Structure 1
Amino acid sequence: MLGAGITAAALAACANVPAGPGAAATLDTGAAGAGQADPGLPERLAAAVSADAAYAHLQEFERIADANDGNRAVGTSGYDASLDYVVGELREAGFEVQTPSFDVRTFTSNDARLTVADAPVPTEVLSFSPATPPGGLTAPLSVRARTPQDPTPGCEAEDYAGMPAGAIAVVERGVCPFGQKSQLAGAAGAGAVIIVNTEDAALPATLGDTPEVVPTASVTRSAGEGLQDGQQATLLLDTTIEQQTSRNVIAETTTGDPDRVLVAGAHLDSAPEGAGINDNGSGSAALLEVAQQLGATPPAAQKVRFAWWGAEEIGLVGAARYVEGLSDEDRARIALYLNFDMVASPNPAYLVYDGDDSDGLGGEPGPPGSDTAERVLTEALVAAGVTGPEGTAFDGRSDYGPFIDAGIPAGGLFTGAEEQKTPEQAQKWGGTAGQSFDPCYHTACDRLTNIDRTALDRNLTAMGSAIGRFAVDLSGVPAR
């Protein structure tokens, strides 16, 4: 580990030498640098972070999963071991670390079956769906038609007008949370809901903490096209919901203004189907490497707070509980939140959250300052060698959601999940058109073999640059 008093010239001379596993060559300045922001920090941090060191963290996450029933999901020994590993690495780098606990519901699916007109239809239960009666729910389908003028199918109460009481509502996937669709359908009298994916692929999704939902499952686009209004169907969902306790990991620098804090976060838990090495070992490992290289006492103007969230895969619970637990004053002290979820997909996109919805992707604009996060992250990706980064919507699928809801500006990087790469994207980024960005999303094959090392390197470099920039300069992010 390079000493805390290392000079900038010496660091620059060795910045491109990859740190070995567990190494913590930091940009700390020690007590002498406290309160003195260094405008050279972004460039030096971007150069110092090592994709080899981040990959070593991923190797450890896979080892942990393999030793703990194949996954690192919330409520499991694999998650606890992952948390202990991150805590140990941070403490070795000089951080004081907290692991605040929170209550969380966990979900188990024992069976999911859909039969329509006496023929089985492949289906997948949405997590936190209530169970149907033991023998299943038999009722007619009520297909809620989507018009080309409606970008939000099933997201408003009027979308369920005229539905027969007790019917199984069939609605297309859209931009609003799945729990919202299920809640609205239930309030209109539906006995259950079938979500039709917009892709010809399975739809692993969650209802989260939404109250008063009804049994909800999903089908692929092609299966959904075969569902007709009035058909008799039987949906059987055998599910279990339990209350448990989980933890987040929080570490922050001792230097910087405590009244304007930059928070950078990634979720640490995997889906129960596998080790979660891209989702989201990649974001967690990259963030850990940035924290180790920055160190606990960098020459920053703002405090930098690093967070590894638990229970993201079942409804963004760790991040939501954290934001909810802050006082109004502490919430106002967070100047900006940056989120890193899946930054090494094997058929990668290079996506930046669309802070002002200028791309018209169907999400929502973030609070003022989110547009600055988008611009800075885009410029950082370009500087890392990416051609034409694109926007991705704030659609509520990752841990930025609770921060945006609290009025905190946000941004982040993402290399794509189940959506398919277009020919235009393949031409500028490489990879395979017509294939998912991550074919192993939420499956057992999300292992080290599912990591694109180039995407990991580019995103890590961009993370270092952007985190460094906002650590020393929050221009473009208004005080709240």
Structure 2
Amino acid sequence: MRLRNTRVAAAFASAALVVAAGVATTDAVAAPAACATRVNNNIPLLLECMDLTGVREHQSALQAIADANGSTRVSGSPGYNASVDYVEARVKAAGWKVTRQAFDFQTFVSLTPSVLAQVSPPPAGPLAHSIMSYSGSADVTAAVSTPSGDARGCSASDWAGFPAGNIALVSRGTPVGFPVACTFALKAENARAAGAVGIVIYNNVDGPLNGTLGATYTADFPAVGITQALGLQLAATPGLVLRLKTDTLRGTATTYNVLAELPGKNTKNVVMAGAHLDSVNAGPGINDNGSGSAALVELAENLSKVKPQNTIRLAWWGAEESNLVGSTYYVNNLSQAELDRIALYLNFDMIGSPNHVFFIYDGDDSDAVGAGAGPAGSAQIEKTFEAYFTSRGLPFKGTDFSGRSDYGPFIASGVPSGGLFTGAEGIKTTEEATLWGGTAGQAYDPCYHQACDTYANNNDTALAENSDAVAYATLSYAMSTNLINGTKSKGNFRPPVDREHAPATS
């Protein structure tokens, strides 16, 4: 990817939407003027035209949309609908066939800022916290108690003798051997059944806790998350009284997936790449996930004149932040024949985190962490991304298929999957800081699910390299999925090493 100072604007761009401040131009190299018209049908041509300035332009547009719509692009809101309009118009102008897929979901909006404050003992004052998505509404001031059994509060027996009318303080996590995942919703329901008037859940690792009770949670019960350090401090405070206030709206709303298709010579073999377009209620979501969304728009504009061997289908998912609703709706409404046409799915969620690591989804479970391997073919996808970073002389690291992004429903349906990630609320280790720079002991994205996830919340190096990796993998598979399902292109296309970006040799 080259940086450049100017680019050909697509039909939808306007001065009102494009916020240029902060775009990196130091040592910029102008991409060829031919990028506006040429056929980028091989890796060197495509990477020459993939443009950080272009990706940042799309993020600027999403920031301007959020600025005009209450600083959010949450699904079901005017800000999200305007984001859909932007993506649809840009990709249509590039010549792709674009459709909207409407679906209903349970929306969640925090109407006024939530409050968590220490009332006593002194010093009294507000406490840092995050409201749990799908929290109910309440304004309560009460003494605080922890479960009498396990501090995680996963079993009804943990709540024996809990003082009715108190606020519950519990730890995140699931005990070893517990038969199901101990979700935030399960903790909240156990607390409510025990007579609690609200729940404060503290993290079990460093960093803030940004959680959800899930779209099916309907009890009018307030829930917030706090750091592990604050939770342990509060648990050790005698005579603790807190005020907990939440003011929320939950209800059915209509929102959209955006789907764009570039037909290939083989229409029965579809290569999919996707990114969620929605933000959380708290902020504009320009890294989460304006980064992946913007990279896909830039990719669409640079692939528009290519006639691929396999059909390319790009997706911008709605309501991902409401528990993968959009991608799940899409997969569940495919016929088996349509599902069988999808050779693989590539997911790009948060690819420009300020304190980044180059994470690749662990398709073969070689890291032996968390969930197992993805469906057959996922290991090959992981190797494809590894090949890109190796060609650039960049270190990379596996990350688990934790189920937190839109690959989830594809994996559940047996579709080979993979993708890229630069980290969210997890804490960067000393070893990672040595490899990738940044700051050990801080979150990969300090603004994850917060109001500060703005245009400024970005690392240019991470976004540029990952946008190129998005292009590298997508075009490689658009030309041949032989590694995945044995479907070859004419000439048996192989992605060459990008000589401009290849590591130096002695």
- 2:184–2:211 contact (8 Å) kept in structure 1: no
2:146 corresponds in structure 1 to 141
Normalised by the length of structure 1, the TM-score is 0.81
Task: Kindly indicate whether residue 263 of structure 2 is the aligned counterpart of residue 250 of structure 1.
Answer: no
CA distance in 2, matches of 1:143, 1:375: 48
The alignment status of 1:186 with 2:189, answered yes or no, reads: yes
Secondary structure of the 1:322 match is helix
Tell me the residue number matched to 2:374: 366
Partner Cα separation in structure 2 for residue 410 and residue 144 of structure 1: 40
Which structure 2 residues correspond to residues 108-257 of structure 1 after superposition, within 5 A? Answer: 108-109=109-110, 110=112, 111-113=114-116, 122-131=128-137, 135=140, 140-142=145-147, 145=150, 161-164=157-160, 168=168, 170-173=170-173, 180-183=183-186, 186=189, 189-190=193-194, 193-210=199-216, 215-228=222-235, 236-257=245-266
Distance 1:274 1:169, change over 3 A: closer
Aligned length: 442
CA shift, 1:232, in A, is 7.9
Paired residue for 1:274?
283
Q: Deviations over 1:418-446 (max 9, x none)?
A: 22221211112122222222222222322
Q: C-alpha separation between the residues in 2 aligned to 1:220 and 1:429? A: 25
What does residue 56 of structure 2 align with? 55
Judging changes above 3 Å, is the alpha-carbon distance between structure 1 residues 137 and 308 closer, same or farther for their aligned structure 2 residues? farther
Provide the secondary structure at the position in 1 that maps to 2:81.
helix
State the 1:228 CA deviation. Answer: 4.3
**Counterpart selection for 2:482 from 454, 472, 475:** 475
In structure 2, what is the Cα distance between the partners aligned to 1:307 and 1:217? 32
Give 3-state SS (helix, strand or coil) of 1:357's partner: coil
Identity between Structure 1 and Structure 2 (%): 38
Q: Contact 1:339 / 1:399 at 8 angstroms: preserved in 2?
A: yes
Secondary structure in 1 aligned to 2:343? strand
5 Å matches for 1:412-431?
412-431=419-438
- SS at 1:401's partner residue? helix
Alpha-carbon distance change, 456 to 25 in structure 1, aligned in 2, over 3 angstroms: farther
Greater shift, 174-183 or 356-365, is seen at 174-183
Match of 1:87 in 2: 88
Equivalence for 1:306? 314
Any conservation in 2 of the 1:263–1:304 contact (CA below 8 Å)? yes
1:96 CA drift (Å): 1.3
Q: Return the alpha-carbon distance in structure 1 between the equivalents of residues 37 and 182 of structure 2.
A: 44
Which of 18, 27, 31 in structure 1 is aligned with 2:31? 18
Compared CA separation, residues 85 and 424, structure 1 to 2 (3 A): same
Q: 1:317 maps to which residue? A: 325
Contact 2:134 2:217 in 1 (8 A): no
- Measured against aligned partners, the alpha-carbon deviations of 1:145-184 in whole angstroms (never above 9, x if no partner) come to 48xxxxxx77xx6x55443277747232469998834237
1:451 to 447, 458, 466: 458
Q: Is the 8 A contact 1:363 1:394 kept in 2?
A: yes
TM-score, normalised to structure 2's length?
0.77
How far apart, in 2, do the equivalents of 1:143 and 1:395 lie? 30
Q: Which residue in 2 is equivalent to 1:41? A: 42
Letter of the aligned partner of 1:101 in structure 2?
Answer: A
- Alpha carbons of 1:425 and 1:238: their partners in 2 closer, same or farther (altered >3 Å)? same
Relative to structure 1, the CA distance from residue 220 to residue 87 in structure 2 (aligned partners, 3 Å threshold; closer, same or farther) is same
Q: Give the distance between the partners of 2:149 and 2:486, measured in 1 at CA.
A: 44
Counterpart in 2 of 1:11?
none
Q: Kindly indicate whether the alpha-carbon contact (under 8 Å) linking 2:288 and 2:448 is maintained by their aligned counterparts in 1.
A: yes
Deviations 1:61-106 (A, max 9, x none): 2222222222222222222222111111111111111011111222
Which runs of no fewer than 5 residues in structure 1 stay unpaired?
2-15, 29-39, 147-152
Checking the alignment, whether the CA contact within 8 Å between 1:107 and 1:241 is kept in structure 2 is yes
> Quick one: higher RCO (CA 8 Å, sep 6+), 1 or 2?
1
| Residues 302 and 471 in structure 1, CA contact (< 8 A), matched pair in contact too | yes
Q: After TM superposition, give the deviation of residue 469 of structure 1 in Å.
A: 1.4
1:211 CA drift (Å): 5.1
Deviation at 1:27, TM superposition (A): 3.0
Paired residue secondary structure (2:484): coil
8 Å contact kept, 2:263–2:308 = no
Change (3 A) 1:245 1:166: farther
Structure 2 CA distance for partners of 1:439 and 1:251, relative to 1, 3 Å: same
2-structure distance, mates of 1:249, 1:218: 32
For residue 456 of structure 2, give the secondary structure of its aligned residue in structure 1.
helix
CA displacement 1:374-408 (0-9 Å, x = unmatched): 1111221232342x200111112211122222222
In the alignment, residue 92 of structure 1 is paired with which amino acid?
A
